[in-house]
Structures are given as structure tokens and as C-alpha cells.
């Protein structure tokens, strides 16, 4: 038999989660025309900046400027990994471990790799 307090809490949580999702969906739908219009204006103004060879333009309404974001992506890890190691370019990599690989190592050896600490958190999750 379930505790009535838990049953009520689960029901309340699921209702709140469902209501929140409905509001998020409604909000996303309401924002769509704004986002589309802003994207079109951004593309138009960027094209004008490029055409004029300008990095920024100040107007009475505000300033527009260009910003470049670079996102390197690994195309072939089998080629890149040895290159990084052979050339001591370890700073190119983000210091992050694969949780699955660490867990597999621990299961296979009974120990964690040197220099690794594992923190675990337990959460209450709800489903209907």
C-alpha cells in the first residue's frame, strides 16, 4: 500500500510538470513569429555590413556589429588523437571524462583510474 502523502506529491508534481510543458509549448508558439522576423532582419543587416565592409555601424536606434564564433569539430578522432599526443598538444582537448568508460574501467579493475574521483547524486524522478 502506498503512502497517501507520496501519492499526492507524485500527482501534484506530474500535474505541475504537465502544466509547465503546456505553457512552454504555448510560449514557444507565441514567440515563433518574433524569432522568425528577428532572424530575417539579422541576415539582412549582416549582408549589408559585409557589403559595406563594416564590422559595426552606429545608428540613433542602436549599434549593430559582427561577432564571429568558431566551433572546431573533430572530423577523424583516429587521426587527431595520435597527432595531439605526439605533438604534446593536450591543451587542445577539453578535460572531460566519459562516465561510461570510467564505470567500465572500474568494473573491470575494481579501481578508478589514477587522478579520478567520482561523485554521484540521487534524484527523485517522476513518470506516469
pTM: 0.67
Same domain, 8 and 56: yes
Q: How many domains does one find in the chain? A: 2
User: Degrees (nearest 5) of the Cα angle 22, 24, 30?
Assistant: 105
In a domain, 72, yes or no: no
User: Which domain range does residue 54 map to?
Assistant: 4-65
Same domain, 15 and 59: yes
Provide the grid cell at 61: 536606434
Please determine, for residue 1, whether its predicted confidence score (pLDDT) is greater than 80.
no
**Residue 19 CA, distance from chain mean position:** 24
Provide the grid cell at 57: 555601424
Same domain, 58 and 87: no
pLDDT, tens digit (0-9, with 9 covering 90-100), for 27-69 = 999 999 999 999 999 999 999 999 999 999 999 999 999 999 9
Same domain, 44 and 89: no
In a domain, 47, yes or no: yes
Amino acid at each position: 500500500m502506498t503512502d497517501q502523502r507520496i501519492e499526492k506529491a507524485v500527482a501534484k508534481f506530474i500535474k505541475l510538470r504537465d502544466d509547465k510543458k503546456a505553457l512552454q509549448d504555448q510560449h514557444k508558439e507565441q514567440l515563433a513569429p518574433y524569432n522568425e522576423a528577428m532572424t530575417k532582419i539579422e541576415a539582412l543587416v549582416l549582408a549589408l555590413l559585409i557589403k559595406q565592409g563594416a564590422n559595426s555601424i552606429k545608428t540613433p536606434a542602436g549599434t549593430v556589429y559582427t561577432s564571429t564564433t568558431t566551433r572546431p569539430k573533430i572530423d577523424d578522432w583516429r587521426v587527431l588523437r595520435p597527432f595531439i599526443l605526439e605533438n604534446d598538444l593536450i591543451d587542445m582537448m577539453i578535460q572531460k571524462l566519459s562516465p561510461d568508460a570510467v564505470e567500465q574501467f572500474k568494473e573491470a579493475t575494481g579501481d578508478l583510474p589514477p587522478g579520478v574521483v567520482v561523485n554521484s547524486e540521487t534524484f527523485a524522478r517522476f513518470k506516469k
